[in-house]
Structure 1
């Protein structure tokens, strides 16, 4: 192990490790609880996870110097001092699954990083919520990972194939699988996704059978399950996000149920989730058509002719408004952060020994 520099080149860049600390190499974050992070070496994810100490805010610097709370799937540089591991920095994230924080701030919460496939899990009993599927697909496309829809409890409905067709209609360009864990049917196409090194994340409502699906894919009871109420809703049996190694070298993230949080999307994610609407919009007479009452609107014409369900257009409008609202809040926050950064630089220059005013 090589010695770790004990000084930071700039504020908010790299935290100062304890005296005498040595490099512990690159590790993968496999679990994030409040006040605790568990990690494994990136070259051996099957080893017993170890606890790594993080700063009080639970964050670490990214390559651009900004600080971010750690997330499952992050690759981090560690130092070891005595018997403790310390997180120094987070590597660049090739993909991130994010959502709005539960509060009124413009901060985003990173659910998982380094994800390759997002499994959007929705139940067939009760009937699937198409608007929720659309929302989660927008979230998944925005992440940069590949979305796949998994419809659970296929054994509980008389026509799972027909219901799968209905869901596929709101998921253009996405594979949709109807599965029954109880009967072991429909799981093979999902298992085929579990190639060595692939990281999957599971998102969906409570009661959708996410933990049961995880256990079936893992071939072992790796996640806690509970009874589902008569209305199809279940308790939030997963209270943390955890990266679980699966047979064959794949890894899977299970997340707490998404409960009434705002959408975090960009124009690209929304266009991918609503590729049918985006394609129609390109044929509108006006480039800035809002698809409201403008003449020559191809989107409204498709609704009128029955080619595009009105419910689908209403869903697009709602998510587009939410995404635009978030973008405005994010811009305001970025402007405030840049203003604060400039003020820090100015104060540092005034205090510099070479400054005649110092």
Structure 2
């Protein structure tokens, strides 16, 4: 089948066109990396196609990362997307563009952008309630007093954000069970995953100026799948009083494809009803719907263990961005912020093993044995799709990682 003839129902048709960075077969050096756009089971070398067609966007696309395109701003994002859509759908362009289509199976995919800062949130009420019930079973309310008033988050480590397919080394650190007399050091024995969505900032903002809810789409280019690997035993001992540190900073995996927000117009939904009045900078009652209907699947060694619905997230990406900058913190091109674990109200919709096994109490029965937390050799894969135009599906790619023993 010619590469332009994407089968009907393919989630990576011309209605999607996510961006990534790839190198052709037999290469892999930084100089050989190119901005690519996925079309079905092929990758278009967007920079080479732009040069061949004399496009004014070649300077944004003929790069080894997406950062130049991210920094160009919303008008450029829309213009480039329209141009690429025409390149792969208008027959008059196909002869010129065809030489720059590579089979997906023949290329190497790389981290698509240089990560500036990384922030992770805690935006699912279902997840927060489950965690509260696990660790504070006698509390009158499993939610902390601030949870319904602001998006809780922490600042992560951008240098350990890795692309899908990168092996994850089991982290070591201090841990201390409640019954232990003193902490011990060694590999984590409660390694977990968190199914999340990451949002990628394009347009920066100056220090001292906050970003309002209505400016979200002027700053955020798109989204990707994200697995926030978590060493629960290390995290439990270290997190009081300053929160996650070594239990989170060893690896964060992201998908190789960044789906532009413009591809997700048909997936926009209203967030859950608010149960407390919000302060003005977070009050989105008069804003366009800030939620997204994303259907996530979590697999361990090929076996589906959970299907978390992103539409249930209490805090939206726009609210998270507004809160992240309300104190005057600046945005930089390449900033990445995670949604926090996505969990739905049903048991098979929980986005972490902490919840799925209720902190190890109830082991998962998998074809290759029981699991309470992730074991060495396990391969964890997140996939997702969203409703697209005319009944199509927008594929969000996948993020996968295999756990290897501590070095």
Give the TM-score taking structure 2 as reference length.
0.24
Tell me which structure has the larger Cα radius of gyration. Answer: 1
Structure having greater relative contact order (Cα 8 Å, sep ≥ 6): 2
Normalising by structure 1, we get a TM-score of 0.27
